[in-house]
A and B are shown apart, each in its own frame.
Chain A
Amino acid sequence: MVQIPLLERLEILADAAKYDASCASSGSVKRNSVGGKGLGSTDRGMGICHAYAPDGRCISLLKLLLTNHCVFDCHYCINRKSSNVKRARFTPQEVADLTLTFYRRNYIEGLFLSSGIIKDASHTMELLIETARILREDNDFRGYIHLKTIPEAESELVARAGLYADRVSINVELPTDAGLKRLAPDKNRVQIEGAMGDLGRAIVEAKDARKRFRHAPRFAPAGQSTQMIVGADGANDSDIIKRASGLYGTHNLRRVYYSSFSPIPDASAVLPLKRPPLIREHRLYQSDWLMRFYGYNAGEIAQAADDDGNLPLDIDPKLAWALKFRERFPVDVNRSAREDLLRVPGLGVRGVNQIIAARRQRGLRLDDVAKLTVSVTKIRPFICTVDWRPSLLTDRADLRKLLSRPEKQLELFA
């Protein structure tokens, strides 16, 4: 067989990998290359986005598929068996070399490697692990590695992946069982969640071991994440949020990513042709944020949804919740507890922290609040200060209209 040139294979296999939303290189341990023979460093805190594509997404990791050959036939996936896409494959050595070439020029933070299933799940998993091994052992690479693990592979292999990778992930793919059955006939939920459970336990055990033995090996120090596809099946936003919340709870996930189903070339006939509006994915991320940093639970997010179980698209979920529970407002910025301040639409974690610090000095006036926030007009109906009470504003029937931004021409790009 004639080998396709490297450049072309890179195009094919990067193109195939772009439907994975995650590109995060954050949350690992602090590590650097001083005193080693290789290169690379990671930070405990935030990762670095080395470029942004015109789709607004960060390019932090070299995101590749080892191969886009696949024996599975998941309808939403461009690499499914029955798809007409051009196929290509890399050897583990080639991927490792590309990673190092890019890393040395400061293009990337590391590697995000996934793969179509060739031969069988375990064989594929072995190739993924071999790539990570070449990087870590042969080249002393200390940058970030994210391995997508294959739930159908032997659990011993999944465990080995965690020893090389900073983060491991398994995609749950679809928020409902019915969706999974219909669109991903070769996958099943029990197996996916079982593998996630195994990974979760391995992560916790390794953390525990580190506490007692200084030289215990690290296992996926940046934890595990997953991805759900939005808009390919009938699940509404409440279903999705509840599922995500369940996953955060049971498997101790670092992140759940939501990926708007986007029309893929050579789509399968059972899929909707048009993608859901991008703003829907954005609203889901906002709710995810509310759950992780603002103390909302999944039930409360569901309360913010409209009757069809979907979050309103014209206003953000926090505002939607506040409009439904107006009796909880106004909140007194000078007296109220942190949890209550965090519920004020338009006030972020940073703003709340600054208000709490500043109010220890003196009673805050509306002007002061205006200085600490982006838009005081948006917050005004929900707070009182020394010199401001919203009186009737909070109860106005057309408050939603007053606060929602005029319909932006988002659909221009749809």
Chain B
Amino acid sequence: MNKGLLHYLCACGLMIGMFACAKRNFYPDANRPGLSRLTAHGFNVVTAYIDGVPYINPFNKLNGNSLPHIGLINTGTSKDTMFIAWNMIPNNLMLSSYVEEWLTISFPVSKNFTSADILSLKGMRLDSNNAAIQLEEFYDSTNIFGTANIYIVNLTISTKGLLDTVFQCSALFNGIYGSDTITDGRFDFKFDASDLGY
């Protein structure tokens, strides 16, 4: 066989093997059918019941679980707003039709919030007076008016590099947005400090 062709086939095989390596990292919770367990391993998974239907962030074999959008909004008041947003789909392949949703949770942080303050969010439990939630078909982090509860149960430094620090964050959340009720939400993801614009 032509050596060039053999190398090409090997490279293709290697790439296919690498693509197949992306893992779903969905471990079902025995007490909440369709939802993932509450974990602190950086699985990049978010699940919640939306009007009683289990939803999860999408997965593809190339990139794994879809990552959240995370950022800070300068509100022009004494506090800024941090938001976390995911694309969500039903965690039930038996459904014949469904609509993708963007779930956004926001909460206030101090005006001069920096990457050094991130760890101070660990253990923070905010009720519906302080946290907000949005559920829309399109991503829009500027118009969040639903009420939410969020409890950040774990926030640690996952890896610390010369240029960037990676954090691992786990939380429980629920909320009401218009006629939609979000219950038993939980997430476990990793993010870079640079995602917040530092």
**A and B associate in one complex:** no
What residues make up the interface of B, taking CB atoms closer than 8 Å to A?
Answer: none
